[in-house]
Structure formats: structure tokens, C-alpha cells
A and B are shown apart, each in its own frame.
Chain A
């Protein structure tokens, strides 16, 4: 793979001439802007960038990016993206999916693109609802969600996207939300990661599932309810103004995390953990923290690269080809042959 050449662009260069067709106020607008703001900062080349999506509101994303784009079929974007990456590893691939597209119909493909570790950024817009089909509950909807298909409330337990990703073997797992000012930083970290980088982006569906993330995403009280993780930094949230600084500590006895008070800023004395993005066990605990009792863990939760799938495929093809004859004529005549000359037989 060639080192990508940095290209100077502005936000405008990443906008298409197509009218954006999301509902006014949809969280997708904020994500679109965050992406369009981030790409110039990365020095990305629009001609070398491909947005690949499945089906759903989120999957209309490629039409609004002045890059190469492929709006594919429901749930299968990871498979298309894998084919594109294997065919041309130099392309910078962003995959866009949603909670229905990625975890319901496409759960299988999401599992495999993560375990294979194909180098791309995977943005899963989680709004806990089917928007484009008018509001049915989704695999991430909470128990009791009332929708046209669950008029007296859903009874099945929701999937947890980041826990799914880690379980599938993802080497990069991050979280953000649509209107967060930190989203570009999360996207940049994902882009810097070599391999499949999974980002769950909480997204507000203002029509069918309005403000379900307000408990942590609303500006008011955000400090107490958002734990922004940073590599090498203590896991702190809250402030003196809002009832005290708190931190996460490892409870050895019960093998889990617990919330502790930090007095006078001495987080070390309180035993607060320092975030290590390469600690897989900690990542498992962070993605499963029950919200309410704990804050919502956001930012880069896990980042520990391994060789990518496409590099393995290329390496294997190179090894298998070394010193091999590539004459088609010889290939066709492989194995035991015999020659017929005139009418007589000449076994060889």
C-alpha cells in the first residue's frame, strides 16, 4: 500500500450538488458536517475516498459526499467494502450503516468484516429505531419501546453495538454522538487506526425516537453523564460544580468497575484507573457499563492494531506467485498430457 498523499481541501470540496433529504433536525446532518469538517483536516483526497453504505436513513450518506460512493443493499455494505478494499487496498474506505442495517439484517457481515480486520472506518449510526420504514423498533431499542410493530412495547433485549464489535474481534472501538464537538477527534483516531475501526455514533431520530439519548447527550448535566476516555488519562467525570469529581476504579473483589469520589483532585489516592486503549479486558467492561449507575463511556475505548486482512491476502498472493510461471498456455496444458499426431497416438 502506497503512503497516501495529503491533499488540501476545504469543507466545501466534500459537499455534493445533491439536495440532502433527511428530515429537518435529523442528527445525520450533524454527523455529515462532522465528517466533511474532518476529512480536510486529515488531508484526504476525495478521488481516493469511497463511502459505502447499506440501506436506511444513514445509508443515504454517500450521496452527499463529493467522493466515490456506493449505496448498496440492506445489510451487505461490509461485504461490498471488503471486495473494494481487496481489489484496491489504496482506497480510503468509510462504511456507513445503522442499527437495523448493521446489527439486524447485516449482523453477520458486520461480524466478519470486524474479525477479518479489513482496513476501513465503520460508522454505525445508532438511533435505536427503523426510521426509513417509519418507526419500527430496532435491535438496539430498549425493552418496552412502543412502535407500530410493538404497540404495547418491545420485549426483546437490545444488542450493544460496541460489545458486539469487541466480541467479533474488533481492534478499534469508539463511541460518539451526532452533535458532540468531540466527534471529529474520534473520527480522526479511527482513520489513523490501521484495520477495521468501529465507531458507534448515537444519532437522534427526531421523528420516531426523539431525544432518547438526552440522558447523557443533553448539554445540561453532560459532565456527570459523559465519560470521555483518553489514552493515558484517568477515567474522570463530573465536576466540583455539579456535585463532585468522580472516577472509575477497579473493584478487585467483584471483578468489575465501580464509581468512586475523587477528593481534592487526588484521583490516584482514590484508585481511579488510567485509560489504556490497548487493554482489551478494560474495554469489555467499559462498553458494558450500565448507564445510569455509570456514565456513558465515550471516545476511543479500544485501539490495538493487528495486521489487516488485505495485507495478509496480498502477502499470501505474493508468496504463492513467487517463481511461478504465469504463461496461460502452460496453465492450460498442466497435468498429464498426450499428443495426437496425424492419426497415430503418442502417449507422452
Chain B
């Protein structure tokens, strides 16, 4: 690399200078509560006014055998006094709660970075489980990092003694002790965490007390312990952001809120049919708690029933929504075809994960694009929208609802495991700022000569939405080819041609905004084209390259099907087009097919997001070749 990437700014602990960004990774056993620790640290970071991005990285097993390498759960956060667009390439600080956590996360740590280790867990047994022959604390293998090793387990047990818990229960507070230390390190307020613990354990005051005691003890340890060497307080200044009200938000929360807002803008109650699947289940969980907003959630017997019930609800006049991840989306495919044939609105959210088959349930990937765009029997087009970040999903969900009801079509909204789980600060939008798109159902016949024409199209190509229960408008719909206008069964060759064309034209002509340049110039040597959650790393990599004087621009696509009308014209203004994707080149294929541009791939399918450094290297290579 020619220069240090901005997101890689080293945490200069020794000189005590304020860094503009810090990356911290909490790693422990999947039973150690690292995701909780990370989540609360995120909240305190947001409240301190830093910009941030997070990356929860956990195993598919719920309680993997303790101490094992595959049972390690990690949470990475990048926060700073400037705009943060990724969870960071390499941590400055690694908190390792056991030998397995150290081993699996050490490679990522920046040279000179700080490791905080709980020596209480570095027993012979745990070292064996982590496949260490010799303790790394003793063999000098950690020499290139700063190591702060002490017995967090014992200190926690000591701190919670007054609560009379057994050792096993007492050790559950270890994560709060660690969080307390981290809060001290970065000079954070403990009160929000104390409030949260009190609320969480409202009915178990002893447990709340023990956790708070552990939190305070960890904090006090940092403050008072006489530690020579690496542990010093670090101040990361607040970022200057647009004035307004802020909160942190994960993608799963944002998509739920966006769907609720979208249904309200459409003036409709929402029906959500879901089936548990990682990493999409949290959308079902969030919506199940929003019943007062006219939301019905239905946990179906399987993925197929989830989408079918949602289509049934749309048919009856509600906004049907379903959500899943790749394997579940595969099961829903036939029903999507029916929604396309019967031209009913529907929003399908796909939180993509590593595939094929069961693949990597808890890891992220963008490999369902072909499935979304092409993956149905027959000529069955539907619009596909992809979200770039947790905050962006909110707007994308509203957009999906709008297109679904205005065009009487199912819409696929793509997110991924990274977006679903990651958190970022979010400027709370004013709901009034969104244009309503209130639905008008057909209430009187649209045919002066008699029977209602259920497939008479409007200027957008959409058929009327007719609720069962409306007097005089009885009609039948189904998956068999429809006669134009009437919607009666019709096998006539010319009619099938006309209906296939009409379904295609409706989707092709959906009004979407023109594609713009996300960062850089309209034309030049290289366009880096992205979609979905690669937004952050691409933006940062392009920004870094441009600062070094390279002629490169970033074009991020939200609408991946149909493509914005000006896409071809715009991309042809660049000598080269590079498409980084977490798949084997799917959007590249769509661009080449639709626009006849010579797009080249840069791909990765490791279940991990792109690193900025990787992308910068790929950009340099593309410019040189």
C-alpha cells in the first residue's frame, strides 16, 4: 500500500495523542456475552458523539462447546471523530476473553496494537482446546503487540461477592467488568449502561446489582490500578455531524421501521409473514412488537406458507410483507411467481448470507443477486432494490413499499447479514418529509358495459387493486394465464405474448431516479461500481485513492433491477469499470448483459466484508493494467 488508509489510523496510546478513529474488537466464547458487550459499548460510543460502524461476527452454533476455536464470538467497532464508513480493517485493541478468542482474532490485530487478556481463562484445559502447545503469554509470540494480561475472572468474582452468587453465576458478569474497563479507557459515561442493566434485570435485582458492581469494578480498575505500560485513557473527540436527533440503529431495526413507515405512507395495515431463519429472524422479532401500528405478524409453518399468507393478505387489501435469507427465498420462489401473475403488491426482504445451501448462516455475502433478478420459472420480472447500510435500509424499505403498491408488483429488497446485524448512528428522520403514496382501491366497476375488468391497466401498466368484500366487483384470479383486461383464464397464443410483454414493460418502466456519481467525477479512468453493503469500504477506498491523486470514482447502485435509465450512458464515460462484490461477479454480469459495458470483477466470498486496503490495492491494479 502506498499510504496508510484513513480507517487504519493507529491508536497511538503511548504518546497519548487523540486519534481520529479507533477500532476495538471484543472476542470471547459464544457464552461470554460479547455481542451484548459490543452492543452496549456501541451505545455509549454513540452517546459520546462519535461516528461509528460495527461488525458482529459470531458462530452459527448457539452454545458451541466452551473454549473451542469454532465457538468464538466477536464484535468489532470502529469509532471516530470523523466520518466512519466501515467497521475497520484491523483492530487497534483486542479484548480476548480466552485462548481460543486470542488465537482466532490475533491475525487481524494491527502491529503494535493492544491486547487485553483474561489470564483466568488461560488454563491448561483451555489452552489445549485452543490448540496451543505453549501458552502464548509465555513463549514470546505476542512480542509485536502490547499485552495487558490479568485475571479478569478472579477480579469479577471478587467484585460481585456481596451478591452471594455461585462462581458460575458470578463469572457471567465478566463481560460487564470488561465493558467497565473499556468505558474507562475511552472515557465514557457508565450511567446509560447502569440504566439498561436495571431495566433488563428489573425482576432480578441481585443480578442487576452484580452486573453493575462488575461494571464499576472494571472501570475502577482502569482508573486506580497501578499499571505501568499500555493502559491509558484515550479521548476520541465527537464527530461534527449534521444537527438533529440521533440514535443507533441496526439494519434489522431499520428495515422494520421502514416497512411500518412505508405501510403508513400507503395508508394500509401491514401483514408480515415470516419463518425463523438466520439472519432474517430479527425483523420478525422487531415487527412482532409493533402491533399498535397496524402490524400483524404471522409466524408460519414454513417459508412457503409465510409468503403465501402475505400474498393472501395483500389480496385482501393489506400490505403483505415476507422476509427470509437465501435458502428460504428459494422456497418462496413459486409463490413469487404467483404474485407476479396475479399482480399483487408484496415486499420480500432477503437478508443474504453465505451460500449455496445452508452455507454460512451467520456470515455475510451478496450471492443472491441472480436469484433475485433471474431466479424464477417463466418470464417473471420483479424490481430489486439493495440497501447500502443499516441506516439506508429504512429509506429502501419505504421505496420498496411505494413501488409495490404503485405498480401492483412484488418487490425484492436485498440486505445482508452484515447490514442486518451491524449498528450505526442514525439521524432520526422526520416522517413528514416522506411523500405519502396512499392506495386507492377500486370500489366501482371500471367497465361501463358490465363486469369489472380486473386486469385493465393504468398508465403505469398496473391493474386495479380490488378487495374481496367489495359489492359488485367479484372476479377470480390465479396462476393460469390471464386474458387481457378481464383476467379470465386464457390460453390464446397472442394473449400470452401480450401479457408477457405487459408484465415486462410494467417493471422496465418503473420510475426510478437517474444514477448519480456517489464520489468523484462524471467520467474518467475508472468507475468502481458497487451495490449493497460494500458501500462503506468502497467509498473509503475510493476516497483514499482520490486523496492520493488517482482518477477513480465511486458509483453506488440502489436500484439493481431495473437499472436506472442513464446507467449505460454514465458508465461509458469511464475507461474502465470495476465491480467489487461479495460473490463471484453477479452484478458485473447484469451490467454487461444490460448495458454492454466492459465491467470487470473484483470478488470475495470469505463471509467477511471487504477490507479497505484490499479494495485500494484492487483499484491500483485496475488503473495500472
Q: What residues make up the interface of A, taking CB atoms closer than 8 Å to B?
A: 16-18, 46-48, 50, 52, 55, 62-63, 65-73, 76, 78-88, 90-91, 108-109, 111-112, 313, 316-317, 320-321, 324-326, 328-329, 331-343, 345, 347
Contact A82 B312 (CB under 8 A): yes
Cβ of B264 under 8 Å from chain A: yes
Contact A328 B431 (CB under 8 A): yes
Contact B291 A86 (CB under 8 A): no
Contact B247 A80 (CB under 8 A): no
Q: Which of B234-292 contact A (CB under 8 A)?
A: 238, 240-248, 257, 260-261, 264, 269, 271, 273, 290-292
Q: Is the interface of A mostly helix, strand, loop or mixed?
A: mixed
With beta carbons under 8 angstroms apart, the residue of B271, B291, B475, B478 that contacts A72 is B478
Contact A109 B301 (CB under 8 A): yes
9 smallest beta-carbon distances between A and B, as pairs? A83-B312, A71-B478, A83-B309, A345-B49, A79-B308, A87-B316, A69-B476, A68-B468, A79-B305
- CB closest residue in chain A, given B246: A338
Q: What residues make up the interface of B, taking CB atoms closer than 8 Å to A?
A: 43, 46-49, 189, 192, 238, 240-248, 257, 260-261, 264, 269, 271, 273, 290-293, 296, 298, 300-302, 304-306, 308-318, 320, 334-335, 337-338, 342, 428-432, 451, 467-480, 488-489
Contacts of A334 in B (CB 8 A): 247
Q: In the complex where A18-B489, A88-B469 touch, is A76 in contact with B49 (Cβ < 8 A)?
A: no
Q: List 28 A-B contacts (CB under 8 A).
A: A16-B476, A17-B451, A47-B468, A47-B471, A55-B479, A68-B468, A68-B476, A69-B475, A69-B478, A70-B476, A73-B334, A73-B335, A73-B337, A80-B311, A81-B312, A82-B312, A84-B316, A85-B312, A86-B309, A91-B316, A326-B292, A334-B247, A335-B247, A337-B428, A338-B46, A338-B49, A345-B48, A347-B47
Q: In the complex where A83-B309, A83-B311 touch, is A340 in contact with B243 (Cβ < 8 A)?
A: yes
Q: How far is the CB of B555 from chain A (nearest CB, A)?
A: 29
Contact B292 A324 (CB under 8 A): yes
Contacts of A55 in B (CB 8 A): 479
Q: How far is the CB of A220 from chain B (nearest CB, A)?
A: 39
- CB closest residue in chain A, given B256: A331
Contacts of B301 in A (CB 8 A): 79, 108-109, 111-112
Q: How far is the CB of B334 from chain A (nearest CB, A)?
A: 6
Contacts of A82 in B (CB 8 A): 298, 305, 309, 312
- CB closest residue in chain B, given A310: B296
List 19 extra interface pairs beyond A62-B476, A71-B478, CB under 8 A. A50-B468, A68-B469, A71-B476, A73-B338, A76-B304, A79-B306, A79-B312, A80-B309, A80-B315, A82-B312, A83-B312, A87-B313, A88-B469, A90-B469, A109-B308, A324-B292, A326-B293, A336-B47, A345-B48
With beta carbons under 8 angstroms apart, the residue of B47, B313, B431, B432 that contacts A83 is B313
Contact A316 B316 (CB under 8 A): no
Contact A88 B316 (CB under 8 A): yes
Cα distance, A340 to B46, chains bound together (Å): 11
Q: In the complex where A73-B334, A87-B316, A326-B292 touch, is A63 in contact with B489 (Cβ < 8 A)?
A: yes
- CB closest residue in chain B, given A313: B296
- CB closest residue in chain B, given A53: B478
Contact B338 A79 (CB under 8 A): no
With beta carbons under 8 angstroms apart, the residue of A70, A326, A342 that contacts B477 is A70
Q: How far is the CB of A91 from chain B (nearest CB, A)?
A: 6
- CB closest residue in chain A, given B46: A338
Q: How far is the CB of B488 from chain A (nearest CB, A)?
A: 6
With beta carbons under 8 angstroms apart, the residue of B242, B245, B478 that contacts A333 is B245
Contacts of A88 in B (CB 8 A): 316-317, 467-469
Contacts of A68 in B (CB 8 A): 468-469, 474-476
Cα distance, A335 to B477, chains bound together (Å): 44
Q: In the complex where A112-B301, A332-B257 touch, is A83 in contact with B320 (Cβ < 8 A)?
A: yes
Contact A108 B43 (CB under 8 A): no
Cα distance, A108 to B300, chains bound together (Å): 11
Contacts of B302 in A (CB 8 A): 108
Q: How far is the CB of B578 from chain A (nearest CB, A)?
A: 35
Q: In the complex where A109-B305, A316-B291 touch, is A340 in contact with B479 (Cβ < 8 A)?
A: no
Cα distance, A282 to B118, chains bound together (Å): 66
Q: In the complex where A332-B431, A341-B243 touch, is A18 in contact with B47 (Cβ < 8 A)?
A: no
Contact B304 A79 (CB under 8 A): yes
Cα distance, A85 to B468, chains bound together (Å): 11
Contacts of A84 in B (CB 8 A): 312-313, 315-316, 468
Contact A321 B476 (CB under 8 A): no
Contacts of A63 in B (CB 8 A): 476, 478, 489
Contact A328 B476 (CB under 8 A): no
Contacts of A320 in B (CB 8 A): 291-292
Cα distance, A299 to B250, chains bound together (Å): 56
Contacts of A329 in B (CB 8 A): 430-432
Contacts of B469 in A (CB 8 A): 47-48, 68, 88, 90-91
- CB closest residue in chain A, given B338: A73
- CB closest residue in chain B, given A328: B431
Contacts of A109 in B (CB 8 A): 301, 304-305, 308
Contacts of B468 in A (CB 8 A): 47-48, 50, 68, 84, 88, 91
Q: How far is the CB of B291 from chain A (nearest CB, A)?
A: 4
Contact A338 B47 (CB under 8 A): yes
Q: In the complex where A70-B476, A70-B478 touch, is A339 in contact with B246 (Cβ < 8 A)?
A: yes
Contact B304 A332 (CB under 8 A): no
Contact B49 A347 (CB under 8 A): yes
Cα distance, A81 to B477, chains bound together (Å): 14
Contact B47 A73 (CB under 8 A): no
Contacts of B47 in A (CB 8 A): 336, 338, 347
Q: How far is the CB of B211 from chain A (nearest CB, A)?
A: 18
Contact B479 A73 (CB under 8 A): yes
Contact B291 A336 (CB under 8 A): no
- CB closest residue in chain B, given A309: B298
Q: How far is the CB of B399 from chain A (nearest CB, A)?
A: 17
Contacts of B311 in A (CB 8 A): 72, 80, 83
Q: In the complex where A79-B309, A331-B290 touch, is A69 in contact with B477 (Cβ < 8 A)?
A: yes
Q: How far is the CB of A76 from chain B (nearest CB, A)?
A: 5
- CB closest residue in chain A, given B431: A328
Contacts of B309 in A (CB 8 A): 79-80, 82-83, 86
Contact B429 A332 (CB under 8 A): yes
Q: In the complex where A76-B335, A91-B316, A328-B260 touch, is A317 in contact with B192 (Cβ < 8 A)?
A: no
Contacts of B314 in A (CB 8 A): 83
Contacts of A328 in B (CB 8 A): 260-261, 264, 293, 431
- CB closest residue in chain A, given B312: A83
Contacts of A17 in B (CB 8 A): 451
Cα distance, A160 to B246, chains bound together (Å): 60
Contact B478 A62 (CB under 8 A): yes
Cα distance, A69 to B316, chains bound together (Å): 11
- CB closest residue in chain A, given B304: A76
Contacts of A85 in B (CB 8 A): 312
- CB closest residue in chain B, given A77: B308
Cα distance, A231 to B244, chains bound together (Å): 69
Contacts of A325 in B (CB 8 A): 292
Q: How far is the CB of A112 from chain B (nearest CB, A)?
A: 4
Contact A86 B296 (CB under 8 A): yes
Contacts of A70 in B (CB 8 A): 312, 315, 342, 476-478
Q: Which of A50, A313, A333, A337 counts the most B-chain CB atoms under 10 A from its CB?
A: A337
- CB closest residue in chain A, given B430: A329
Contact A71 B477 (CB under 8 A): yes
- CB closest residue in chain A, given B488: A18
Cα distance, A109 to B261, chains bound together (Å): 31
Contacts of B310 in A (CB 8 A): 83
Contact B477 A112 (CB under 8 A): no
With beta carbons under 8 angstroms apart, the residue of A81, A83, A324 that contacts B298 is A83
Contact A46 B245 (CB under 8 A): no
Cα distance, A321 to B561, chains bound together (Å): 38
Contacts of A336 in B (CB 8 A): 43, 46-47, 192, 247-248
Contact A340 B244 (CB under 8 A): yes
Cα distance, A344 to B437, chains bound together (Å): 37
With beta carbons under 8 angstroms apart, the residue of B241, B291, B296, B472 that contacts A340 is B241
